[in-house]
């Protein structure tokens, strides 16, 4: 096979034209909170030319949906608490805690895919974080830690 690595080389068709057009409105299936988040994200993405192609807007909708789910579960947790009681009186984690955590995982995964985290933006070629955007302490630590481990 030649080359490094264990799998076949992935070829990227750099000539594949992708439409940069974004939909004017969020998908109808999003709830009110999801539509609001979709619009907020769209406004941010519009500031970075050529960041997303037309097919990527499905991922934006999924991110907005996860955001809505996260906030819905948070509202339930605020009302009912993080611990529920079984009919036998045994405490257990409220189901909304797990659902909120899953929504958070979806949010972070999709945010990375859409270059909406500091680390993801640093990995993009030609797209730099704004001058006033600074790393948070955790990002700084992880960045230093990664450099130290690569040096050893």
Q: How much of the chain exceeds pLDDT 90, in percent?
A: 45
Using CA atoms, how far apart are residues 93 and 99, in angstroms rounded to an integer?
11
101-147, pLDDT tens digit by residue? Answer: 999 999 999 998 888 888 877 776 555 555 555 556 666 666 666 66
Q: What pLDDT, on a 0 to 100 scale, did the predictor assign at position 16?
A: 47
Mean pLDDT, rounded, of the chain? 80
* Residue 24 pLDDT: 82
Q: Write out pLDDT tens, residues 63-73.
A: 999 999 999 99
Query: Which residues are within 8 A (CB) of 43 and not within 5 positions of it... i.e. 6 or more apart?
Result: none
């Amino acid at each position: 096979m030649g080359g490094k690595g264990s799998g076949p080389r992935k070829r990227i068709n750099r000539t594949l034209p992708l439409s940069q057009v974004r939909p004017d409105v969020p998908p109808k299936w999003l709830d009110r909170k999801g539509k609001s988040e979709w619009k907020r994200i769209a406004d941010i993405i519009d500031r970075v030319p050529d960041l997303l192609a037309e097919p990527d807007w499905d991922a934006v909708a999924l991110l907005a949906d996860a955001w809505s789910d996260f906030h819905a579960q948070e509202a339930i947790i605020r009302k009912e608490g993080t611990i529920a009681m079984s009919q036998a009186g045994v405490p257990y984690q409220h189901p909304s805690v797990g659902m909120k955590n899953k929504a958070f995982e979806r949010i972070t995964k999709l945010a990375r895919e859409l270059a909406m985290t500091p680390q993801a933006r640093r990995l993009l070629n030609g797209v730099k974080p704004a001058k006033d955007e600074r790393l948070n302490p955790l990002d700084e630590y992880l960045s230093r830690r990664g450099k130290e481990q690569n040096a050893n």
